[in-house]
Each structure stands twice: as structure tokens, then as C-alpha cells.
């Protein structure tokens, strides 16, 4: 019979002395005490630890230090207890599983670009340790009779090499499938979330915790202030549906609006067909906005209107840019679920010009449309709609939602600007991070979706495109450069046609 | 504007799969439309209903499968339900008189298969209980209707299906006890 070739880890074990071998044996005994996953998942997770130990060994790290970093107690009781928790979808999340279809899903990406290449072995271990802190993320989407819901999935969540288009749909169809993905490519750690799980704020909390844990495993020490501690118990508030907190009012705000003018380029076959990151000096961007007596968001919106004007052949009509609004600023909350709504900033095409008047108009619209009152009206509308639909079986809701979404879709908007604002990390970790990215998945007919995040001195404006027509990004680039902002452009190759 | 590429190249095969799905969608729609139009023009029996339902069955089972809850049990149940509707159409529109016996037998076989699959791998499959509960519900309601409507010799098949569906439900309850109530709360939550 052919003898089985020893694995790299088995060869590593042979080279250890008795004391070290005992330490390893004790380590894996402890692992067995903390993991009751199915055989395959358990074997994979065991291999994750073996790979991490091999990495440390190759780096010349003493075994006791390696075992200290990989301390099994970091797994907590997540992998040993049976899955009992489940979560109803929050009010904003309910539409996502209803409106998704093959090739279309509301996915967004948050990424951190490190100064050193990512070590996959440590990233996987970091994910194994971090996920327990985010119980509503360790779930799988299930169908109920009236609504979808999130059911806890006890499994090994995977960190994979990035090989595909950013923000492509996540396969959530099989039993215990995960609704987010962790990817690595060169120096970048990315997390892509199905919007059913969380919004940008909750997603960023996860990315920060994962990155912090990854950097800790590489040997960097920090007090981890401002990052959710992986070993802390999650609070009930973190998984709460906070939409019920809307100020009670009889007034409601509609979702329906008149159609907006779209950019003229032909829709691409891939979604998105390209992702572009404009990396700008945050101080320069802030100064450019300040010189015009506006905020960064208003300034960038005005530039997007101008660029949008160049990207359409329509001489008339209005452009409408969707701006997500974080409800946590009106209703302070620690929730990691969705807690954001949106408003639309409109401007007639004929009135789009590089002027102070346009900046003032955008600022005025933003102030009134993204106010607490306006958002509370929208929250009330959402609640009433969901209340009216609560006894309609899912089998009827799904096709109806698809038809309605197919007709309305994103037609009322021309573009989106989601600004996550300034993200911070403990200084010890921030030293090892170059910048961050925030990528929105593309909608149905909008040719672009823009998103922004600022980390340290770099503001990154990302454009997820759905047309090969380069007019929008070229006009935006020129317009920002003309205001004295230096931009470095990074991005993806073109996908599709 | 120079773009520094910071993303991997993507294999073309995935692009091809996306195009194929789009082509198939329009082919199916076109085939269904042509059949209905031909049937309306030529008259006679409504065979196009059977063709349209067969296309739908093929579409939903193979070309555009479920995006959520895609597992062996749910797909088997979907196939059985859609298949039986097809048989009922054939019975009603082409050759009448046999579906009343065949359909309950198919449902009974489906219940048996699903029951075995469910209880053989209980810990994993309990997350997929919803389709099985629905099948049980359909079988129970169907057998009650069958027992009320049909007064011929074939009545016993409805009774067998009904009793078996009920015993599967009792089996689930016996296995899960209080967790059965919890599972039902998840499945029938209106929040």
C-alpha cells in the first residue's frame, strides 16, 4: 500500500522537542474543548491553526509566543454551543431579499489597505476569533412564511483570496451559507456585506475589529480603544431593530418621486464594470470645500452634479443624487444592524453650473431633506408599509416586490453619494494602514454609485461604474484637479462589455 | 487620468455564464409566448398551458433556481408540487380520470423521502424544516379536501397521505419538543 505523504505540519511536529510537542498537544486538546462543529468544519479550523503555527515557525517566532497569540480561549463558546439565536430583519433590510435576483444583490464593500501584504493564515484566524463578537453577522438568510429572517449559522466562516468582480452577489442559497465575505488581495483586506446584515456603520465596526485582530496576531500591541473588543459580550442593543424608535407622527414621507435623468452611456454587462478610487489629500479637499463655505459632502455633491452634466446628452430634466443618512446621529444607538435611510438632492440640468448658488442650493436641500423631521417621516412610512404587509405570505410578497422594484427601481435617482466620514483606528494600528475603501454595489439603471471614506490624511472617493463611458469620472477628476486637489487614481480593470 | 490597477483580472468563464442566463431567459419567454399564440390561433385543447407550465418548471428548477433556501429537501418538494400541478393540467386538459390517484401517491412518496432525509441528518436539516412543514400542510389540507369531495373507492389514498403527514408532524414535535414551538415562531413571525 502506498504510504501517505506527511503534511507540512506533521513534518514540523517531528522537529519539535518533547516539551514543545506537549505544548502543541495541549493546545489542540484545548481546541477540541472549544469546537463542536461538524467534522469537516472542525478539520478545516484545526488546519487554520496549523497553518498559523507554521507561519509563525517560518518567521522564527518562539512557540510559546505563537501559542499565546493564538490562545484558544479567543474562540470563546461560539463554536461549542448549538445555534439558538435568530433575528427578524430590520425595517430597511426587508426589501433586500425581496428585490434581489440572479446577478443582482445589494452588496457593499469596505476595505482596508495595509502597508504590508496580507498574511492569509493570520487573516483566517482573525476571522475565526472575531465573528463571535458579531452574532447577527454569523447568520444565514432563511425564508419564513411571512418574512425572511436571519438564523444563526455555526460554521467556519471563510477568508478567501480575491479573484472576482468587487461587490458581486453572494451565494446565500445553501444551508448555513454566509451573507458576507472576507477577501484578501495583496495588501488589501476587504469585507463585502449583503445589505440585509448591516449598513456602512455596522460594517465598518466589523472591519475595524477584524483588522485589529489581524494586526494583533501579527504582533502589534494596542489598547484597542474605539474598536469592539473581540472577547466582550455583544449587547442586545447591537442587534436591535432601531427603526421602531421613530418619533411618532401622523406625517409620512413617500418613497415615490419623479424619474431622474440618467447618464447616457450604455449599461455594461458586468455590474460594476469598473471600480475607481480617487485618493485625495483630506486637508486639500477640506480646504477646497471651506474656501467655498461648504462642507465636504456638499462640495463633492456639487462636483458630481457637474460631472453628471457632462455624462448625459439630455439637455433637460433633473439629476437626483441619493444621499444615505445615518439615523444614529438623530437617535444615538449602538446597533450594528441597518439604521440608515436616504434622501435625494435634486438639481435641474439647466441649472447645473460651477457656482456658489448651486452649492447653497445643495446645502439647503441637504439640511431640509436629511433633517430629523424628514427622516422620521420616512421611518413612519416604512413602518406603516411593513405593518400593512405583515400578514401577506412571502410567496405573494416576493413577486409583487420584484414587479414594483422593476418598475421603480433606481429610476428616481441618477447617482448616489454615501459618505462614511472619518474613520479612526488606535494609533498603533493606524501606523500599519495606508488607507480605506468603501465601494457601493451598482443599482439597476444608475451608471455610477459614489462612496467616500476618510482615513488619516487620505480621503478616498470611489466610483462603482455601470457603463464603459468614461465621461463622468473624467469630468469629476478634472473638476477636482482644477480646484487644486491632487488625486491618485487606483482601480480595477474593465469587466464585461 | 492614469489608473493604477489594484484588482485582480477576472476569468472570462463567469462572464459567459452571466450572458448565457440572459439568453436563456429570453428564449424561454419567447417559446412560451409562441406556444400560447399558436394554441390560440389553431384552437382545440389548451395544450399550451401544459407547455407553459413545463417551461416554468424547467425555468424555476434548473435555469433560475431559488436564491434562498436552496437545499435538497426544498428542491425536491418544489419539484413534486410543480410536477403534480403539471399532472393535474394534463389530466384536466388532455386525458382525464387518473390524476386523483396518481397525485396522492406522488405526495405520499415525497413525504416518505423527505421524512427519511430530514430525520437521517436531523441536526443539519432542522434549519430546513420550513419546506417540510409546508409540504405537510399541503398534504393535510389536500387529504381533507379529497376525503370531502371524492366518495369513490380512491378515498383511502387521501386518508393514508393525511395520516402520514400528521405523523410526520408529530414526529417533528416529539424530536424537537419545545424547540418545535421556537422553530414555528421563527417561521411564522410577522415582524
pLDDT at residue B125, as a whole number: 86
Which residue from B18, B130, B186 is facing A86, i.e. has the nearest CB? B186
Find the residue in A nearest to B127 (Cα). A175
Interface test with A, best of B19, B69, B133, B181 (most A CBs within 10 A): B69
Q: What cell does B96 get?
A: 382525464
Q: Which comes out higher in pLDDT, residue B64 or A334?
A: A334
For A243-491, the fitting CATH number among 3.50.50.60, 3.40.718.10, 3.40.190.10, 3.30.559.30 is 3.30.559.30
Q: Which residue in B12, B67, B127, B183 has the most chain A C-beta atoms within 10 A of its own C-beta, making it the best mutation to test that interface?
A: B67
**Interface contact B1-A474, CB threshold 8 A:** yes
- Which of A41, A190, A397, A495 would best serve as a mutation to test chain B binding (most B beta carbons within 10 A)? A495
Query: CB distance from B64 to chain A under 8 Å?
Result: yes
Are A493 and B186 an interchain contact pair (Cβ–Cβ within 8 Å)? no
Tell me the C-alpha distance between A270 and B10, whole Å: 11
A142 CB neighbours in chain B (<8 A) are 68-69, 127, 130, 186
Residue that has been written with the C-alpha cell 472576507 in this structure: A182
Note whether A143 and B130 are within 8 A (CB): yes
- How far is it, in rounded angstroms, from Cα A305 to Cα A282? 21
Any chain A CB within 8 A of the CB of B54? no
Beta strands in A263-317 (DSSP E): 274-281
pTM of the model: 0.92
Is there a contact between B124 and A88 if contact means CB atoms under 8 Å apart? no
Grid cell for residue B97 = 380520470
Put simply, the answer to whether A391 touches B7 (Cβ < 8 Å) is no
DSSP state at residue B24: H
- Strand, coil or helix: B112: helix
- The whole-number average pLDDT for the span B37-53 is 92
Q: Is the pLDDT of residue B23 over 90?
A: no
State how beta strands B3-5 and A487-491 pair.
Answer: parallel
Of A102, A105, A170, A190, residue with least CA distance to A462: A190
Q: A331-370 in b/e burial notation, b at 16+ Cβ within 10 A?
A: bebbbbbbbbbbbbbbbebeebeeeeebbebbbebbeebb
Contact state of B67 with A477 under an 8 Å Cβ cutoff:
no
- Tell me if B1 and A103 make a contact (CB, 8 A cut-off): no
Shortest Cα distance from A384 to chain B (angstroms)? 12
Of A137, A98, A154, A191, nearest in space to A338 by CA: A137
Mutate which: B4, B7, B8, vs A, most A CBs within 10 A: B7
Side-chain half-sphere of A407: how many Cα atoms within 13 Å? Answer: 8
SS3 at position A318: strand
B187 touches chain A (CB under 8 A): yes
Please answer yes or no on whether A88 and B71 come within 8 Å at the CB atom: no
pLDDT at B12: 67
Determine contact, residues A471/A311, Cβ cutoff 8 Å. yes
Q: Measured between beta carbons, which residues in chain B are less than 8 angstroms from residue A86?
A: 186
CB pairs under 8 A between A and B: 112
Which residues in chain B are closer than 8 Å to A491, comparing Cβ atoms? 3-7
Q: Does B152 touch chain A (CB under 8 A)?
A: no
A29 to A23, A34, A132: CA distances (angstroms): 10, 9, 21
Host H or E run for residue A107: strand A107-114
**Residue-level pLDDT at A197:** 97
The whole-number pLDDT of residue A233 equals 93
**B186 touches A at CB < 8 Å:** yes
pLDDT of residue A398: 87
For chain A, the structural domain boundaries read 9-72, 243-491
pLDDT tens-digit map of B129-167: 889 999 999 999 999 998 888 777 777 888 899 999 999
Across the interface, do B18 and A473 touch by the CB < 8 Å criterion? no
Q: Which of A170, A173, A192 to mutate to test the interface with B (most CBs of B within 10 A)?
A: A173
Residue of B nearest to A144 (CA): B187
Residue of chain A whose Cα is closest to the Cα of B60: A102
For residues A230 and A441, give the distance between their C-alpha atoms in angstroms, rounded to a whole number: 28
What pLDDT is stored for residue A254 in this prediction?
Answer: 63
Q: What are the grid coordinates assigned to A444, written together? A: 439597476
Q: Do B64 and A102 touch (CB under 8 A)?
A: yes
| Between residues A463 and B124, the one the model is more confident about | A463
CB contact under 8 A, A142 and B130: yes
pLDDT exceeding 70 applies to what percent of chain B? 96
> Can you give the pLDDT at residue A103?
82
* B19–A143 C-beta distance less than 8 A: no
Sequential pLDDT tens for chain A (497 residues)? 667 888 999 999 999 999 999 999 999 999 999 999 999 999 999 999 999 999 999 999 999 999 999 999 999 999 999 998 999 999 999 999 998 888 889 999 999 999 999 999 999 999 999 999 999 999 999 999 999 999 999 999 999 999 999 999 999 998 889 999 999 999 999 999 999 999 999 999 999 999 999 999 999 999 888 999 989 999 999 999 998 877 766 666 666 678 899 999 999 888 899 999 999 999 999 999 999 999 999 999 999 999 999 999 998 899 999 999 999 999 999 999 999 999 999 999 999 988 889 999 999 999 999 999 999 888 888 888 899 999 999 999 988 887 777 666 678 899 999 999 999 999 999 999 999 999 999 988 899 999 999 999 999 999 999 999 999 999 999 999 999 999 999 999 998 77
Please judge whether B4 and A491 are an interchain contact, meaning their C-beta atoms are less than 8 angstroms apart: yes
SS3 for A341?
A: strand
Chain A contact set for B122 (CB, 8 A)? none
Tell me if A477 and B1 make a contact (CB, 8 A cut-off): yes
User: Of all helices (H) and strands (E), which one includes residue B53?
Assistant: helix B47-58
For chain A, report the end-to-end CA distance as a whole number of angstroms: 53
Cβ–Cβ gap B5/A145 under 8 Å: no
What's the mean pLDDT in B93-99? 88
Place of cell 454595489: A441
Chain A residue numbers touching B190 (CB-CB < 8 A): 146-147, 390-391
A185: left (phi over 0), alpha (psi -120 to 50) or beta: beta
For B:100-139, CB contacts with A below 8 A are: 124-125, 127-128, 130
Residue B176 has pLDDT above 90, yes or no: no
> Touching check for B16 and chain A: CB below 8 Å?
no
Amino acid at each position: 500500500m502506498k504510504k501517505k505523504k506527511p503534511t507540512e505540519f506533521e513534518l514540523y511536529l517531528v522537529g519539535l522537542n518533547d516539551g514543545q510537542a506537549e505544548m502543541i498537544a495541549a493546545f489542540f486538546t484545548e481546541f477540541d474543548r472549544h469546537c463542536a462543529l461538524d467534522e469537516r468544519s472542525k478539520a478545516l479550523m484545526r488546519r487554520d491553526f496549523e497553518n498559523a503555527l507554521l507561519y509563525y515557525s517560518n518567521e522564527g517566532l518562539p512557540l510559546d509566543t505563537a501559542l499565546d497569540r493564538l490562545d484558544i480561549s479567543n474562540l470563546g463558546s461560539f463554536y461549542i454551543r448549538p445555534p439558538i439565536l435568530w433575528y427578524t430583519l430590520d425595517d430597511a433590510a426587508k426589501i433586500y431579499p425581496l428585490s434581489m435576483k440572479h446577478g443582482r444583490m445589494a452588496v457593499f464593500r469596505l476595505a482596508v489597505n495595509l502597508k504590508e501584504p496580507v498574511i492569509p493564515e493570520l487573516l483566517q484566524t482573525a476571522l475565526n476569533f472575531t465573528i463571535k463578537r458579531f452574532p447577527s453577522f454569523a447568520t444565514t438568510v432563511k425564508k419564513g412564511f411571512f418574512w425572511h429572517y436571519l438564523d444563526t449559522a455555526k460554521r467556519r466562516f471563510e477568508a478567501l483570496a480575491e479573484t472576482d468582480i468587487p461587490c458581486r452577489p453572494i451565494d446565500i442559497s445553501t444551508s448555513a451559507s454566509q451573507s458576507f465575505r472576507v477577501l484578501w488581495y495583496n495588501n488589501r483586506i476587504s469585507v463585502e456585506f449583503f445589505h440585509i446584515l448591516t449598513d456602512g456603520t455596522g460594517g465598518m465596526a466589523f472591519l475595524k475589529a477584524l483588522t485589529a485582530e489581524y494586526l494583533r496576531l501579527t504582533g502589534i500591541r494596542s489598547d484597542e480603544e474605539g474598536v469592539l473588543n473581540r472577547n466582550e459580550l455583544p449587547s442586545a442593543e447591537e442587534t436591535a431593530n432601531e427603526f421602531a424608535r421613530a418619533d411618532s407622527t401622523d406625517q409620512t414621507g413617500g418613497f415615490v418621486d419623479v424619474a431622474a435623468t440618467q447618464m447616457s452611456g450604455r449599461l455594461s454587462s458586468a455590474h460594476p464594470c469598473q471600480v475607481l478610487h480617487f485618493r485625495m489629500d483630506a486637508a486639500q479637499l477640506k480646504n477646497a470645500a471651506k474656501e467655498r463655505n461648504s462642507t465636504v459632502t456638499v462640495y463633492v455633491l456639487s462636483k458630481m452634479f457637474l460631472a453628471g452634466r457632462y455624462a448625459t446628452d439630455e439637455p433637460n430634466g433633473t439629476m437626483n443624487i441619493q444621499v444615505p443618512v445615518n439615523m444614529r446621529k438623530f437617535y444615538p444607538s449602538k446597533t450594528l444592524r441597518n439604521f440608515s435611510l436616504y434622501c435625494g438632492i435634486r438639481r435641474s440640468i439647466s441649472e447645473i453650473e460651477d457656482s456658489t448658488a448651486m452649492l447653497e442650493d445643495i446645502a439647503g436641500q441637504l439640511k431640509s431633506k436629511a433633517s430629523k423631521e424628514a427622516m422620521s417621516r420616512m421611518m413612519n412610512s416604512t413602518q406603516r408599509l411593513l405593518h400593512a404587509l405583515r400578514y401577506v405570505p412571502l410567496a405573494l410578497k416576493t413577486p409583487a416586490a420584484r414587479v414594483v422594484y422593476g418598475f421603480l427601481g433606481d429610476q428616481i435617482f441618477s447617482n448616489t453619494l454615501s459618505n462614511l466620514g472619518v474613520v479612526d483606528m488606535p494609533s498603533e494600528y493606524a501606523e500599519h494602514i495606508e488607507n480605506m475603501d468603501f465601494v457601493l454595489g451598482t443599482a439597476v439603471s444608475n451608471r455610477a454609485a459614489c462612496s467616500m471614506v476618510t482615513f488619516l490624511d487620505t480621503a478616498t472617493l470611489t466610483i462603482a461604474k455601470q457603463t464603459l463611458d468614461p465621461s463622468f469620472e473624467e469630468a469629476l477628476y478634472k473638476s477636482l484637479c482644477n480646484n487644486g486637489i491632487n488625486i491618485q487614481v487606483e482601480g480595477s480593470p474593465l469587466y464585461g462589455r | 487620468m492614469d489608473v493604477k490597477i489594484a484588482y485582480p483580472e477576472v476569468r472570462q468563464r463567469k462572464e459567459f455564464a452571466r450572458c448565457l442566463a440572459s439568453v436563456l431567459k429570453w428564449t424561454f419567454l419567447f417559446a412560451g409566448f409562441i406556444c400560447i399564440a399558436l394554441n390560440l390561433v389553431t384552437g382545440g385543447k389548451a395544450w399550451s398551458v401544459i407547455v407553459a407550465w413545463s417551461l416554468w418548471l424547467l425555468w424555476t428548477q434548473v435555469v433560475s433556481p431559488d436564491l434562498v433556501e436552496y437545499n435538497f429537501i426544498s428542491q425536491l418538494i418544489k419539484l413534486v408540487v410543480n410536477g403534480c400541478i403539471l399532472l393535474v393540467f394534463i389530466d384536466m386538459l388532455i386525458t382525464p380520470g387518473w390524476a386523483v390517484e396518481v397525485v396522492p401517491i406522488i405526495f405520499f412518496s415525497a413525504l416518505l423521502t423527505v421524512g427519511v432525509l430530514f430525520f437521517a441528518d436531523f441536526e443539519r436539516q432542522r434549519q430546513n424544516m420550513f419546506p417540510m412543514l409546508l409540504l405537510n400542510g399541503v398534504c393535510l389540507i389536500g387529504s381533507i379536501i379529497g376525503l370531502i369531495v371524492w366518495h369513490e373507492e380512491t378515498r383511502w389514498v387521501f386518508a393514508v397521505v393525511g395520516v402520514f403527514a400528521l405523523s410526520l408532524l408529530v414526529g417533528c414535535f416529539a424530536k424537537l419538543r419545545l424547540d418545535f414551538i421556537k422553530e414555528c415562531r421563527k417561521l411564522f413571525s410577522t415582524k
